[in-house]
Amino acid sequence: MTQLHTPKASRNQERGRLSFMGSVSPSRGRFRDRGGEGGGTSRRAPGTFRLVPAPKMPAGRRSLLVTSATLVSLASSLALTAPAAVAAPTPTPGPSASASASASARPTATPPAAMSTVGGARLGQPGTQVQLAGGAPVLPKDLTARSWIVADAESGQVLAAHNAHWRLPPASTLKMLFADTVLPRFPRTQTHQVTVQDLAGVGSGSSMVGIKEGETYTVHDLWLGVFLRSGNDAVHVLSAMNGGVPATVQEMNAHAEELQALDTHVITPDGYDAPGQVSSAYDLTLFARSGLQKKDFREYCSTVRAKFPGATTTKKGKSSRSSFEIQNTNRLLAGDYDISQYPGIAGVKNGNTTNAGATFTGVAERGGRVLLVTVMNPEKPDHNEVYKESAALLDWGFQAAGKVTPVGELVRPRGGAGAQPGAGDSAGESGQAGGGSGTTGGAGASANPSGTPVAAATGSGHSTGVGTAMAVAAGLMVLLVGGAFLVNRRWPLPDLVRRRR
C-alpha cells in the first residue's frame, strides 16, 4: 500500500521547543515569519530549556512510598468487610490488545458508542468532553480531528478531550512507543554495519532517512533518523539490532500494556499501515509522557536539524565519507511556509499514512506549565491542518489551565512506584515535577474537616466491627492519597527552567 508518510507529506518539524536539553545540532538562526495565524503560530524567539537534575527524594517521601504500598495491601483486606456501596466503581479497560488484531485498518466514520474508560469514565464517551468553570475560554472552533486530547504533562490532568479512546491507525506517532521501548537497549556510541537483511520488509513508499547497505552507523545516527526524518529504514535497522522485527513488536505491545495503553495493538514497529494496527489519542499521549522521562528521547525529539552520514567513496585509494543535513519534520518545531514554529514547543512526533491521515503529538511549555496535545486525522484537507489544530488546542490549554475541571487523567504505568529511570536518564531525573503540577494530592489533606468520627459517618446501622474497619480504611485512604501523589509525581516531566536565548 502506498504510504503518504514521506517527510513532505508527514507534518512535523522542530524548533522553539520545550527542550529539556541542548539540541544535537546548533541553531542556524531564527526562522523568518511564516505567515502563521493566531498566538500559537505567530513568530517569536525560539525557546529551549535546559535540564536541571532533580534532587534525590527525601527519606520521608521514600518511606511514604513504601508505607503506601503496604497500606494498599491492608486496605484491600479491609475492603472485604466493608459494605459494597462504599467501593468506588472501577474503570473498565478497553478491549485487550489481542482483540484488536481483527480490527479493520481503516476506521469507521463515527466513534464507538462505548470506549475504554482508562483514565476516567468521561474519556470513554464519544464526542467532546470538557467542563468549563468561570472565566474559562471556549474551545477553538473548527476542530475537525476525529480524536484529540489536551493534558497537563506533569499532573496528568486531562483538560479536554474528543473521542480520546477511539482506536485509530497511528501512523508514525507509534514511533514514540518504539523509541520508549528500544532506546534504553543500546548506548548511543555503539556502531552497526547495515546488512541487506536489516532493511528487509521496509514498506513501499515509506519515509526514509537514507541508510545504505554496507555502511556503518552509530546508534546516535540511527535515532536521529527515526526522530528527525521518521525513517522507517532506521527503525528496521534498530529492530534488527534488537532481535528482529517480531521480537521488537512483541516488546512494544508488552510495554504498551505496562503503560496501561490498552487501546494499542502494534503490528509494525514504524507505524506503517497494517490491518489491526491501532492506537488512540489517549495512548499516544501516554507514550509521549513516558518517553519524555528519558533524556535521550527529549534530545532527539526536540532536535531541529543534524548531520547524517552519507555514502563512503574511494578516490585514488583513499576512502572518505560525506554527510548531509536532515531536518525534523515536525512543523510546529521547525515551521513551514504557512505556519510558524510554536513558542515553547519541544517535539514530540508526527505521522501521516493513507489510513491514518495526519497524526501529531506535541509537548510545549508556557509560564511554567507543560501541556501535551495529541490530534488524530483532521477531516479538513488544508495543508498542515494537524498542526494548526494542535496549536489552537495548545493555546486554549494554556489559557484554560486552572479554569476547567479535569475530565480525566493520564494514568501512571503499572508498578510505577518501583519503576526506574531508563538508560540515558539523569540520576533522580524522574523524581521532580516541574512548576504548575501539584494539583493531584491536595484532595486528601483534609479528608474529614468537621472532626466527626469517620465511623459515625458510615451510619449506625452497621456492626461495630464493620464500622471500625471502615474507619481504619478511611484513615488509610488519606495516607494512600498522599502516597499515590508521590508515586504519580515520579513520572511527570522534570523541572523546567529558563528559556535559552
Describe the crossing of helices 175-182 and 232-241 by its angle, rounded to 10 degrees: 30
What is the β-pairing status of strands 369-378 and 216-218? unpaired
Write the single-letter amino acid at 458.
Answer: T
Q: Show the CA angle centred on residue 131, arms to residues 128 and 137, nearest 5°.
A: 90
Q: Is 2 exposed, middle or buried (0-12, 13-18, 19+ CB in 10 A)?
A: exposed
Give the H or E element holding residue 308: strand 305-315
Give the H or E element holding residue 474: helix 464-488
Q: Is 411 exposed, middle or buried (0-12, 13-18, 19+ CB in 10 A)?
A: buried
Q: What is the b/e burial string over 373-387, where b = at least 16 CB atoms within 10 angstroms of the residue's CB?
A: bbbbbbeeeeebbbb
25 included as an active-site residue: no
Please tell me which residue in 100, 116, 172, 430 is annotated as part of the active site. 172
Cell of 199: 532493511
What is the dihedral sign for C-alpha 109, 114, 118, 123? Answer: positive
Q: What is the b/e burial string over 182-193, where b = at least 16 CB atoms within 10 angstroms of the residue's CB?
A: bbbbbebeeebe
Please tell me which residue in 10, 147, 175, 340 is annotated as part of the active site. 175
> What residues pair up with 152 in beta bridges, in sequence order?
371
403 included as an active-site residue: no
Please tell me which residue in 206, 207, 230, 340 is annotated as part of the active site. 230
Question: Which residues are annotated as catalytic?
Answer: 172, 175, 230
